[in-house]
Amino acid sequence: MVWRCETGGVPTTGLRERKREKTRDALAQSALRLFAERGFDRVTVEEIAAAHDLSARTFFRYFASKEDVLFSEGDRRRTHLLAALADQHPSARPFPALEAALRLVSTDYAQERDLLRLRHHVITSTPSLSTRAAERRQGWEGEVIDQLRTSGRADGMSDLELRLVVAATTTALQVAIETWVASDAPDLETILDEVFDRLRNGFGR
Amino acid sequence: MVWRCETGGVPTTGLRERKREKTRDALAQSALRLFAERGFDRVTVEEIAAAHDLSARTFFRYFASKEDVLFSEGDRRRTHLLAALADQHPSARPFPALEAALRLVSTDYAQERDLLRLRHHVITSTPSLSTRAAERRQGWEGEVIDQLRTSGRADGMSDLELRLVVAATTTALQVAIETWVASDAPDLETILDEVFDRLRNGFGR
């Protein structure tokens, strides 16, 4: 996972960093479980921290807020996506560039089906979180559109066309992930193959 | 507009019905303007009604709630869409059937750009309404999927494929309407032509 690579650093830093990440992951996992069991609004930061013998103050060294447990991973993925998009060959047009970048990012999801399922459940069952998630998705789409525009990939494309490519691709990724999260059988990659093939070839045949 | 046709009835009923609809439209228009000016939560039903020398009690003869002013038109459009979808030739597959039905429904929008613009502004600037709108869109998509499934049109299609067709088409319609509402120049039909052509032919070329 590109965005998790440590950029150099002596072994001690690496060890401390890994320990830090382990604590962070453990906090996130138990927070998600508590949210799913009792409802997001009924769980306090104190309880999440106490499950690991930590104080609320320590929790805030890992997450900026209770919402941040649900959304910080998304921030990392967005950074990852924008980097992956920038890395695509300059001549790649918006759709293939976006497909390649989204496929790279989706490898982050592949080992986290249970956590994604919990997260999805918590967000869809809490109206304020659904709103935040929708707003974030819009912001995320806006950034992708801006990057495709400034990189020159979208030259000659109307705003309508570019918005459509990005919105349709994002929607397709969401359908793919939701289908995968709700199922047990197939791996995410096979689902993504089907979905992107369909967008590439169109709904006409 | 199919769903507005009076089904027979003597002239007197028609006149009363038209008067009723005129009052309803006038109430909706001034409510939208008040919401846009002062914020949805700061406008009372009493104020909306008072602008037409009516009581709150009378308002509730036209709308079930304050939210209903924003969403009842959508209910009518959903009914219209499902009817238009059922009217398509039995052999039409999901994508062309959905395209034809959505084009029919979109003629309802064509004369209402200013109202749509106001409505869009009110909903996007009120978090609770954005949530309701998103939930409604999901319910709407679910009903379309159910109808396509039970009508036999989607026979041989996987759930993933059917969900993708519906989600991509809905998203495309939304992009088209948002682009049209935000602009002054082109008519909605030209935008829809471009958007549906692209979905039909795919993003691969």
B8 Cα to chain A: minimum distance (Å) = 40
- Measured in residues, chain B has a length of 205
Residue B54 and residue B93 in one domain: no
**pLDDT recorded at residue B5:** 38
Higher pLDDT, A113 or B164: B164
**pLDDT recorded at residue B3:** 35
Residue A28 scores a pLDDT above 70: yes
In Å, how far are A14, A63, B54 from A73, measured between CA atoms? Answer: 20, 11, 52
Residue A113 and residue A17 in one domain: no
The pLDDT confidence band at residue A110, using thresholds 50, 70 and 90, is confident
Residue A76 and residue A56 in one domain: no
Residue B73 lies in a domain: yes
Residue B165 and residue B75 in one domain: yes
Contact assessment for residue B172 and residue A170, using Cβ atoms and an 8 Å cutoff: no
As for how many domains chain B has, the answer is 2
Residue B19 and residue B91 in one domain: no
A204 and B203 within 8 Å at the Cβ level: the answer is no
Residue A54 and residue A134 in one domain: no
Residue A93 and residue A78 in one domain: yes
Residue A82 and residue A161 in one domain: yes
Tokens of A66: 């209770």
Residue B191: CATH number of its domain: 1.10.357.10
* Chain B interface test: which of A125, A129, A158, A203 (most B C-beta within 10 Å): A203
> How does DSSP assign A129-151, residue by residue?
HHHHHHHHHHHHHHHHHHHHHHT
**pLDDT recorded at residue B54:** 94
A194 and B127 within 8 Å at the Cβ level: the answer is no
Residue A4 lies in a domain: no
Residue B130 lies in a domain: yes
Task: Taking residues A146-164, report their average pLDDT.
Answer: 95
Residue with tokens 């088409």: B169
Q: Is the dihedral of CA A117, A120, A123, A127 positive or negative?
A: negative
Among B6, B30, B3, CA closest to B19: B6
**pLDDT recorded at residue B160:** 94
CB pairs under 8 A between A and B: 93
Q: Which chain A residue is nearest to residue B96, measuring alpha carbons?
A: A204
Among A128, A17, A23, CA closest to A71: A128
Could you tell me the residue range of the domain that residue A80 belongs to? Answer: 65-205
Residue B91 lies in a domain: yes
Rounded Cα gap, residues A40 and A125, in angstroms: 9
The pLDDT confidence band at residue A101, using thresholds 50, 70 and 90, is very high
Residue A1 lies in a domain: no
Residue A115 and residue A193 in one domain: yes
Q: B179 to chain A: which residues are within 8 Å by CB?
A: 159-160, 163
E strands, A48-182, in order:
none
Residue A194 lies in a domain: yes
Burial class from Cβ neighbours inside 10 Å (0-12, 13-18, 19+) for residue B152 reads: exposed
| Domain end among A44, A63, A82 | A63
Residue A185 lies in a domain: yes
Burial class from Cβ neighbours inside 10 Å (0-12, 13-18, 19+) for residue B118 reads: buried
In Å, how far are A125, B148, B150, B199 from B143, measured between CA atoms? Answer: 20, 9, 11, 21
Q: A198 to chain B: which residues are within 8 Å by CB?
A: 161, 164
Residue B123 and residue B196 in one domain: yes
Residue A24 lies in a domain: yes
Residue A158 and residue A100 in one domain: yes
| Domain end among A21, A43, A63 | A63
Residue A59: CATH number of its domain: 1.10.10.60
Profile chain B (205 residues) by mean pLDDT over runs of 10 residues: 39 79 91 94 95 94 93 88 95 95 87 84 86 84 95 94 95 90 82 95 88
**pLDDT recorded at residue A2:** 36
Residue B42 and residue B88 in one domain: no
| Domain end among A63, A80, A105 | A63
Q: Count of CB atoms within 10 A of residue B12's CB? A: 8
Burial class from Cβ neighbours inside 10 Å (0-12, 13-18, 19+) for residue A57 reads: exposed
Q: A168 to chain B: which residues are within 8 Å by CB?
A: 168, 171-172, 199, 203
